Amino acid sequence: MLHYEITGEGKVNLVLLHGFMESLKVWDDLQKNLDAEFRLIKIDLPGHGLSDTDQETNTMEFMADEVHKITTQLDLDTFHLLGHSMGGYVTLAFAEKYPDLLQSLTLFFSTWMADDAEKKEQRKKSLRIIEQSYSTYVNAGIPNLFNPNEKDILEGKILLAKEIALSTKTEGVTAAVKGMLERPDRLKVLENFEGKILVISGKHDSAVNSVKTISQLPDKTNIKSYLLDCGHNGHWEKPTICAEIINTELLHNLPKHLIF
């Protein structure tokens, strides 16, 4: 069973799924700014944080099923689901399998697109580097996920991201990489989902093609997208703005397609 924590006394359930080489600890800054109406269910995905894994490959579908076990255990009949990066891929897999449970899905610096050939090769190369020297992989890669124009300001958050990544078991990391390699394009999920869809992206995101992700979204009234002046980690780079969008969108409404 996955490890999770619940915070907040609100009546609106919001399940948070972290990204690759992260844990539920990444939500601390965002949590401080989220509305008191939320009850936050923060989950460590398989092989990350305090959640173990015994599989060679953790597909997005498998991780979605593991998340479903937690939401079922907590008797969550309906809730909002937000996923950062890899957590967004799991969110889409969950929405494909259990759409009736979701009030909304949020792709938080994530995408519905499958890896292209170049990205697949990058992931395969990363598997070799992780096996040879995981610390080298973390120390070289983590800084590139932040806005290159603000690395001096974000130095503390970059160090924190490295710390969390280095505490992640390598078997969990490699199982996740293999799972991400297998994931399909899930544009159809967005086309078919009837609840609210929120997409929050970064202009300087080196891990996700934000422009393509947003520009090719289905033209539906239930989809809102935002492009922020940050990299891949809005929860650390722009927590106040991200929380403002989440508070407003999931509890109220804002005009469509805004740029901050």
At residue 253, the pLDDT reads 59
The mean pLDDT of 178-198, rounded to a whole number, is 98
Res. 124: pLDDT tops 60: yes
Predicted confidence band of residue 9 (pLDDT cuts 50, 70, 90): confident
For the chain, which residues make up each domain, given as ranges? 4-259
260 token code pair? 């901050």
- Which residues are within 8 A (CB) of 239 and not within 5 positions of it... i.e. 6 or more apart? 29, 30, 32, 33
Per CATH, the homologous superfamily of domain 4-259 is Alpha/Beta hydrolase fold, catalytic domain (3.40.50.1820)
Look up the pTM and report it.
Answer: 0.96
The mean pLDDT of 15-26, rounded to a whole number, is 98
Q: Under a CB-based contact definition with an 8 Å cutoff, are residues 89 and 181 in contact?
A: no
* Dihedrals phi, psi of 74, to nearest 5 degrees: -85, 5
Res. 259: pLDDT tops 50: no
